[in-house]
């Protein structure tokens, strides 16, 4: 359960941090510049994917051909992606990232299953250039999750064990709920589904209480349901307000 929890919530934490990093320093985090030899691997993968498409009789022209050309031209003679210029005016890294992103989508969207199977290894190699998480982000999120759980565990334990059912949670009920939650979150992790660890576990506990005819505290369930319903719209409104406020502030500073 702890492993599934860390993996699931860790993905969210790392994703949010990367969104911030790409937003503030896009030319540094647009590509995986830390991986040694990745530029050469991506260039070779792009060339191999193009060759496989041509061999399969797939027309490689228009935007797809242009994206292949960008990848092969900009990465020619380079071993690492860090060799690409970070100059915002040159826009090289962002240009290459866009070309890789569009190319991998085009490869994944080929109508022929056989063609998709053949080019998939090359597609995955290219994705390594744009789908990455720096080690310091992984460590930072892991430490934050550990410290946060260490500090706030009591509230979670009390809510799950005492405030969902009308009777205290038994060892057997706890084990059943934990097993179901671990399997559910683990499968969601593999399938890349955005689920809430707390909601899954609390639902499992509620299920054991119902099966045991112990009764469920309606007040707690209403609060959980309300949290599910309000989380998305409230987060959207707050994010929109923060973003709009930031744009307004930047605009005034620029004018001033």
Q: What is the pLDDT of residues 75-111, one digit of tens each?
A: 888 888 888 876 665 678 888 888 999 999 999 988 8
Determine how many CB atoms are found less than 10 A away from the CB of residue 4.
Answer: 20
Same domain for 137 and 14, yes or no, is: yes
Closest to 7 measured CA to CA, from 194, 159, 218, 224: 194
166 lies in the same domain as 207: yes
The pLDDT mean for the chain works out to 83
- The answer to whether residues 177 and 244 belong to one domain is no
User: Which of 74, 96, 127 is where one domain is finished?
Assistant: 127
Q: Are residues 69 and 104 in the same domain?
A: yes
More confident residue, 20 or 66: 66
pLDDT tens digits, one per residue of 25-52: 777 778 888 888 889 999 999 999 999 8
Give the number of domains in the chain: 3
d(CA 60, CA 179): 49
> What does the pLDDT look like over 208-218, one tens digit per residue?
888 888 888 87
Same domain, 182 and 60: no
Match 């056989």 to its residue by tokens: 114
Q: Say which residue, 178 or 160, is predicted with more confidence.
A: 178
Which residues, 6+ apart, have CB-to-CB distance to 161 below 8 Å? 168, 169, 174
Q: Which domain holds residue 249?
A: 220-256
Q: Do 138 and 168 sit in the same domain of this protein? A: yes
Task: Verify that 188 and 111 share a domain, yes or no.
Answer: no
Last-in-domain residue among 111, 127, 143 = 127
Q: Are 165 and 200 in a shared domain?
A: yes
Q: Are residues 167 and 207 in the same domain?
A: yes
- Is 80 exceeded by the pLDDT of residue 256? no
Q: Which of 5-14, 115-124, 199-208 has the lowest mean pLDDT?
A: 5-14
Sequence-distant (6+) residues with CB within 8 A of 96 are: 30, 31, 70, 71, 74, 75, 81, 84, 129
Please check whether residue 27 is in contact with residue 89, taking contact to mean a CB–CB distance below 8 angstroms.
Answer: no
Per DSSP, the residues of 120-138 read HHHHHHHHTTTS---HHHH
Give one DSSP letter per residue of 33-68, joined into a string: -SSTTHHHHHHHHHHHHHHHHHHTT----HHHHHHH
Share of the chain above pLDDT 90, in %: 14
> Residue 190: what pLDDT?
79
Residue 177 pLDDT level (bands cut at 50, 70, 90): confident
What is the value of pTM for the model shown?
0.66
Regarding whether 253 and 185 lie in a shared domain, the answer is no
Within 10 angstroms of residue 147's Cβ, the number of other Cβ atoms is: 10
Whether residue 43 is found in the same domain as residue 166: no
Q: Which of 198, 46, 30, 32 is nearest to 107 (CA)?
A: 46
């Amino acid at each position: 359960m702890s492993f599934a929890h860390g993996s699931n919530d860790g993905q969210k934490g790392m994703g949010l941090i990367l969104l911030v990093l790409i937003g503030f320093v896009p030319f540094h985090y647009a590509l995986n510049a830390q991986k040694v030899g990745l530029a050469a691997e991506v260039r070779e993968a792009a060339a191999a994917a193009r060759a496989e498409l041509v061999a399969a009789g797939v027309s490689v022209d228009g935007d797809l051909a242009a994206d292949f050309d960008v990848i092969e031209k900009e990465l020619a003679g380079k071993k690492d992606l860090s060799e690409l210029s970070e100059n915002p005016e040159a826009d090289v890294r962002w240009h290459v990232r866009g070309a890789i992103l569009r190319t991998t989508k085009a490869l994944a969207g080929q109508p022929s299953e056989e063609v998709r199977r053949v080019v998939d290894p090359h597609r995955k190699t290219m994705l390594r250039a744009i789908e990455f998480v720096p080690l310091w982000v992984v460590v930072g999120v892991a430490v934050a999750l550990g410290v946060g759980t260490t500090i706030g565990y009591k509230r979670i334990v009390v809510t799950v064990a005492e405030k969902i059912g009308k009777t205290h949670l038994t060892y057997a009920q706890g084990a059943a709920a934990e097993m179901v939650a671990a399997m559910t979150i683990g499968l969601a992790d593999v399938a890349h589904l955005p689920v809430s660890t707390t909601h899954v576990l609390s639902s499992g506990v509620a299920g054991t209480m119902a099966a045991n005819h112990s009764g469920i505290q309606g007040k707690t369930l209403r609060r959980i349901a309300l949290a599910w319903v309000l989380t998305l719209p409230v987060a959207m409104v707050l994010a929109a307000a923060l973003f709009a406020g930031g744009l307004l502030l930047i605009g005034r500073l620029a004018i001033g």
